[in-house]
């Protein structure tokens, strides 16, 4: 307390000057319309900037929450798309859906090995099981190979064992999507039958086919860069540039086909009857 008193006594002239200066400014603004307007405009500008900075700071710390909201919205929209929901349908009966969409994040990714895998932060506790398709907002990534309680390992399209049914968009020309282990941005579509003229051209889009119980039809994969006939001259091998940047993966969606077990059981019964 004594220090405060000593400070006031030592600086009494300066403090008196500041006090009188503030009173004079107050009286000037109070009795002069011009100065009053300038004061309030300046105060509004300062307040607005403070609020703007405050909003930016709050927005930054709420960014993860906003990202999660967007992921949930994308998940809902993709469910409607894959299940051909009517446009005027607001709520979905999830029990009737063929495809269920589960969002996840990539925690590990490889792309420079002959057999590449992607690890997700979701697993059996989130209903993610073997042979479920994995995509991003740009296109397909691969297929779940195995899962633990909290994680899943995905066989990337950049894997020597990968084999996915695909087709040329807006046609019925199907083939097998594989990888020749040469370029992490390009995969190969094989077994497209030879036709004259060729059923495709550079720049055409390649999408998932309808011959799979893992992926819905027409999910984007990439675009045709070039193609050539195989050695037998009976079919084409197409080089496809992927839409996904396989070196930079973060948010993904896992696709669960609710009807797949029924399809597999039926196929097994047919095979046993032969």
CATH number of the domain residue 227 falls in:
2.40.10.340
- Examine residue 91 and state whether it is found in any structural domain, yes or no: no
pLDDT band of 94, cuts 50, 70, 90: very low
- Examine residue 56 and state whether it is found in any structural domain, yes or no: yes
Residues 117, 251 within the same domain: yes
* 228 has a pLDDT exceeding 80: yes
Cα-based distances in Å from 176 to 96, 153, 208, 212: 30, 22, 10, 11
Higher-confidence residue of 2 and 157: namely: 157
Q: Which domain holds residue 35?
A: 2-61
pLDDT band of 61, cuts 50, 70, 90: low
What is the number of residues in the chain? 274
pLDDT band of 82, cuts 50, 70, 90: low
Residues 223, 147 within the same domain: yes
Mean pLDDT of 212-238: 90
The verdict on pTM exceeding 0.75 is no
- Examine residue 104 and state whether it is found in any structural domain, yes or no: yes
- Examine residue 70 and state whether it is found in any structural domain, yes or no: no
pLDDT at 13: 73
- Examine residue 66 and state whether it is found in any structural domain, yes or no: no
**Closest to 106 measured CA to CA, from 136, 79, 73, 128:** 136
Cα(69)–Cα(73) distance, rounded to whole angstroms? Answer: 6
Q: What is the domain count for the chain?
A: 2
């Amino acid at each position: 307390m004594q220090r405060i008193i000593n400070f006031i006594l030592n600086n009494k002239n300066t403090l008196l000057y500041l006090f009188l200066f503030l009173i004079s400014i107050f009286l000037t603004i109070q009795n002069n319309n011009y100065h009053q307007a300038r004061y309030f405009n300046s105060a509004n500008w300062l307040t607005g900037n403070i609020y703007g900075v405050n909003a930016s700071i709050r927005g930054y710390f709420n960014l993860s929450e906003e990202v999660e909201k967007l992921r949930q919205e994308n998940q809902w929209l993709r469910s409607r798309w894959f299940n051909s929901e009517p446009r005027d349908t607001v709520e979905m009966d999830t029990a009737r859906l063929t495809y269920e969409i589960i969002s996840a994040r990539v925690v590990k990714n490889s792309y420079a090995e002959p057999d590449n895998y992607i690890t997700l932060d979701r697993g059996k506790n989130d209903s993610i099981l073997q042979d479920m398709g994995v995509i991003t907002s740009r296109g397909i990534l691969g297929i779940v190979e195995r899962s633990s309680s909290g994680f899943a390992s995905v066989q990337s399209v950049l894997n020597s064992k990968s084999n996915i049914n695909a087709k040329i968009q807006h046609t019925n020309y199907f083939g097998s999507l594989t990888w020749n282990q040469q370029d992490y941005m390009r995969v190969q579509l094989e077994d497209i039958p030879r036709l004259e003229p060729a059923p495709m051209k550079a720049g055409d889009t390649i999408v998932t086919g309808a011959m799979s119980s893992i992926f819905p039809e027409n999910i984007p994969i990439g675009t045709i860069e070039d193609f050539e006939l195989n050695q037998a001259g009976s079919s084409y091998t197409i080089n496809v540039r992927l839409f996904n940047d396989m070196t930079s993966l973060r948010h993904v969606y896992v696709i669960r086909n609710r009807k797949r077990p029924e399809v597999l059981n039926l196929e097994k019964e047919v095979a046993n009857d032969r």
